[in-house]
Structure 1
Amino acid sequence: MLDVSTDGSTKTGPLLTVDDVRGWIEGRRDRVSVAMAPAQIPGGWWAAVTDPFGNPTYVIDQSTADRPG
Structure 2
Amino acid sequence: MLEGAKLIGAGAATIASAGVVTGIGNVSSVRLHSVARNPSLAKQLFGYAISGFALTEATALFASMTASLTLSVS
Q: TM-score, normalised by structure 1?
A: 0.31
Higher RCO (CA < 8 A, seq sep 6+): 2
Which one has a larger percent helix, Structure 1 or Structure 2? 2
Which one has a larger percent strand, Structure 1 or Structure 2? 1
Q: TM-score, normalised by structure 2?
A: 0.30
